Structure 1
Amino acid sequence: MEQTQSACHIHGGEGGGQPVRKSHHSDEMKANLINRLNRIEGQVRGVKGLIEKDTYCDDVLNQIASIQSALNSVGKLLLEGHMRSCIVERIQSGETEVVDELLTTVHKLMK
């Protein structure tokens, strides 16, 4: 997996509301993620077309498995960057509750 360069930033909420956490990814990482997601989007449209054409179910299921794998790869890249930057920064600043947040996210990803 490639290294990511991202950092979490906190922006004030609108009208005194809760602060909004944002991530800052390098232009290279953003382009990588967007390219991957564009390919996934195309694959999903392709599956829709296969279903419309009554393509053999096993062929459609194999395409769906490919899409799931591609989404998992995007998730892994984001998770790695998140852990290397946002999580580390927040733990270093004393926000240990971020570990619970991370565990909840990892559990969702592993479903």
Structure 2
Amino acid sequence: MGAEQLCLMPGIDEKQVLNALIKELKVYRSLKVKEENLKEQKEHEVTGLFPTLRNQEAIYELTLHQIDRALKNSRDELEYNIIEKKYHTSCLVKDLEVCQEIGLKKEEGYEKFPPLFVRN
């Protein structure tokens, strides 16, 4: 009689996790842009620049802060710096630029942190 291991959780598909991570980081990037735009509108005392059907600002703000908190508390400093430089900006940043800023060779970045340097 062979021993059979019981599993409470199904296996994790790394590719699905990676795709979900990249999708959320792109959403995070767009929420950061939205936050910057709202700050700019408030500074210039302009409201209602773009019409909306319903007010979801509180949801977007909460999502942004919770993703930010999760990134800060679950990643080491180097990983957080990579994410910050690559996804905390409103423009697309090349992997080579990120690696140069933090002092990594591009190949080293792909080896150590492959999910963060997925080619879009």
TM-score normalised per structure 1: 0.33
Give the strand-richer structure, 1 or 2.
Answer: 1
Higher Cα Rg: structure 1 or 2? Answer: 2
The one of the two structures with greater contact order (alpha-carbon pairs below 8 A, sep at least 6) is 1
TM-score normalised per structure 2: 0.31
